Chain A
């Protein structure tokens, strides 16, 4: 029985007067990839941001490794071992690729202190990053930026990685690249919580799945199950399904 790395119980989030999350319950088991699926506006991004403390949860509990995350400031949440790749990638466009990576590596004060072996591995996954190492990150293409965003999240070992819609707007070949990278991460026992609208990618990577709708989790279970049950897919994910097959 794998322990749950991250648990959300009855989490509500309000943004100003808007009640976005209405009691979110799900768990993220250790060492597996959990997909967070759902239509646009279901609350997936809000859930990730709430976990990271960027938006405070108004009610409910979030526990990571048994420790509560509610009310903890974002930098401390990140420092406890969680990496976050937001929907907009959060790339520092005026900084070079190198500088983005140095920043992401909390223990490195400059390039020389980056973990060479790890860097080599990352270059293997995303060769473009090595090629454009000294380029300002703003000049990279969309796909390359996404690779940089993911690379930043993995440049040091982290216990949990939260990723928000990495495949959005990317070419299929690049999506394949990402899938390979995530598969390698799984081998290394990294736990991933992945928000995706691309069901093909979800099927290829996911071990567990949680489906959200209207600020609530409406289904949890094994990915394999959902992948085989087309009527369930249709019911939960509606018409968005076929478009990304």
Chain B
């Protein structure tokens, strides 16, 4: 056999890398295109598509943390909704406090929202750390207990939110400068939705960059596949868990702010309501896959808006129908994560 030393260690460019699985992306594009004849008017299509994409991006922000936590730690946090609610309610406090400032102009409004987001993320992340310590850590590996205990955590969390902010719905109006829409001909695109979309895309970009370009990201991706091997290579992956859990909770908090502003009102049940939606999204995407979660969220957002326009009665089942359809095609989700 050849034992002579090959002098150069630079990687060759000629060998092709993995072929990227385009099918789910095509599905997304296909859905958008199929909607055009169904809806009829281009302007309506533009409005609906943007609304759908914005909604999808918000859902993605919320769900991304959950799917990573599950993929890496094999923990399904049924209490993820509590961080959403926390973020949304923090937003009411911050935005309420900055209301006068925010109404002065577009820049001030954006700044106010940005502040609300930062505060929400910090609080949600902090609570996430406590949640992991007190509720999740004792039940690592015990799936049944996890489901129960995280659900219990959500009940307690929801009640505490009611103690602090009261049990009733609170309005979360958009600051004056961000209300309304830009019009391109007949197509209206709401200003806030553009902001939300940009934030959502930024989060996606940041996640993808972290996962593919940093060592931490490498550890997370490897850990999702084979936790034991990562430990055998000398990494204390359990420490990483805590960080990822806190980050996931912070993202949920951010999503809560965005969702609250999208609905322009907030209730303590907001967590439980969105919970079902994000579970559907991460099942569609493939438990543990960030890209799957992204595409899944966009599909759900688009479908909700398209069916809301075309057949409102069906709209409420569009999610379940989508989930069933995707599972029949790919039982492990759009981008299955190969687990040991």
Binding site for B on A (CB under 8 A): 52, 54, 73-76, 78-79, 84, 86, 88, 90, 92-96, 98-99, 102-104, 106, 109-110, 116, 119-121, 123-125, 127, 130-136, 138-139, 152, 173, 176-177, 180
Contacts and interface: CB of A to CB of B under 8 A. Distances in A.
B338 A102 contact: no
Contacts of A120: 5-9
A104 B15 CA distance: 23
Which 4 A/B pairs are nearest by Cβ-Cβ distance?
Answer: A90-B229, A78-B234, A133-B11, A74-B231
Given A74-B231, A109-B215, A110-B215, A134 B17 contact: yes
A228 to B, nearest CB: 27
Interface of B: 1-9, 11-12, 15, 17-18, 213-215, 218-219, 221-222, 225-226, 228-237, 337-338, 340
10 contacts: A74-B228, A90-B229, A92-B226, A95-B222, A99-B221, A110-B213, A133-B11, A134-B15, A136-B17, A173-B1
Contacts of A133: 11-12, 15
Nearest to A184: B3
Contact of A103 (B5, B7, B218, B338): B218
Nearest to A79: B234
Contacts of B15: 131-135
Given A95-B221, A102-B215, A127-B6, A86 B338 contact: no
* Prevailing SS type, chain A contact patch: helix
A116 B233 contact: no
A75 B236 contact: yes
> Among A73, A84, A139, A177, which residue has the most Cβ atoms of chain B within 10 A?
A84
Given A75-B234, A176-B1, 9 more contacts: A88-B340, A92-B221, A93-B338, A94-B225, A106-B234, A120-B7, A124-B5, A173-B1, A177-B1
A156 B14 CA distance: 28
A119 B232 contact: no
B12 A131 contact: yes
